[in-house]
Amino acid sequence: MLQERFYCLPAPLAGIFTVLSVPFVVVPASSARAQALPEDNLETLRHGSQDAIPAWQRGVGDKQREHARKLFKEGNAKAHDFLFDEAAERYAAALTYWEHPGIYYNLSKALVALGRPLEAYHITQRALQYGPTPLGADPHAARQNYNRMLQQRQRLKKRLAEIEIVQHNPEYKAFVDNETMAPDSDTTHVLLPGRRRVVIQRRGHRTLVHTVFFDQGDVRRFKLVSVQPFEPWQPWAVAGVGAGLTLAGAAMYWSARAGRDSLGESVNAQCPQPKGCPDSEARSVDGAWQKVQWKERLGSGAMLIGASAMLIGAGLLLWNLKRDIRMEPVDHDSVVLSPVVSRGMVGFAGNFSF
């Protein structure tokens, strides 16, 4: 079986064994010591089935591996000289040829040294995706490097924050600072601390825009709830009350107009011109006129209020056609009971966190 291996080489010996084309991993910022290198166990198609070839090697040709090794070696040289920005560029370029977990391993360390924890976290995830096997020249070294990545991921998570949407419905589209959250059943998104803009969209719903502030290490959990702004009967109730007021106001108004006409005919008959009405009857006529005018005004006001209520009811009905999205915080309360046995007492001690 044909095999190619990446070996661990201390810095002074790297120049001697350049024939292996395998550089070393540098610990960024904290130390320039060499660490164990990832191993690449290459099994060609001629010596095994497709299933026997590790996933990170499938579909990668000899020329692609050659380009990747060259860029990988250049990146390690830059990292050894503490030129982490240039090292990260070389590693990223190497990944365009070959997405080997060992390259992700070194790129993550360069990004940590550059103070880019969010990118480093995602790259660390890629380095861990196939387990320890591709991360060492032997099982022991592979496990050590894998554990280093796990520890690095844990440290990075303490510098970052997380937002989680539990029981996420795939019909929702969630964005954090314009970056799409994956529509999984439970969606977790790692982000930088600070004020973040969360946008939730769903067909038939109004878009929700919500601002959330995150501290380092925060884990904020939310569930999405689809709600109608109003109960289905409420817009109809408002419109119905408006219609009733409008009809009552119209009846009052036209009744007042009829009373005005009748009062006018009565006054003309009882108080003919030019003499007019005596003072006693004039006061009675003035009172009757005022009642008619107030009745007209009340009728007009009721019609105006009723018409406005009908318009509001129609607007509420249209508004209710689309639903709202609500983000509700989810708190993980816990109750821990521990048995307690002592002289004269048997019971449980409770630890409650809310």
Q: DSSP for 122-181?
A: HHHHHHHTT-SGGG-SSHHHHHHHHHHHHHHHHHHHHHSEEEEETT--TT-EEEETTEEP
Dihedral of the alpha carbons of 124, 126, 128, 131, in degrees to the nearest 10: -170
Quote the pLDDT of residue 64: 93
Q: Say what the pLDDT of residue 11 is.
A: 34
pLDDT at residue 115 in the model: 95
* Tokens of residue 262, six digits: 């009748």
Give me the residue label for tokens 């591996």. Answer: 65
- Give pTM, 2 decimals: 0.63
CATH superfamily of the 11-159 domain: Tetratricopeptide repeat domain (1.25.40.10)
Contact assessment for residue 277 and residue 271, using Cβ atoms and an 8 Å cutoff? yes
Q: What is the mean pLDDT of each run of 10 residues along the chain (354 residues)?
A: 32 30 39 38 34 81 92 93 95 95 94 95 94 88 92 94 83 86 71 92 91 92 89 90 92 83 69 60 69 85 92 91 90 50 51 44
Q: Which amino acid is at 262?
A: S
CATH topology of domain 160-228+323-354: Immunoglobulin-like (2.60.40)
Q: Where do the structural domains in the chain lie, given as residue ranges?
A: 11-159, 160-228+323-354, 233-321
Q: What pLDDT is recorded for position 258?
A: 82
Contact 43, 52 (CB under 8 A): yes
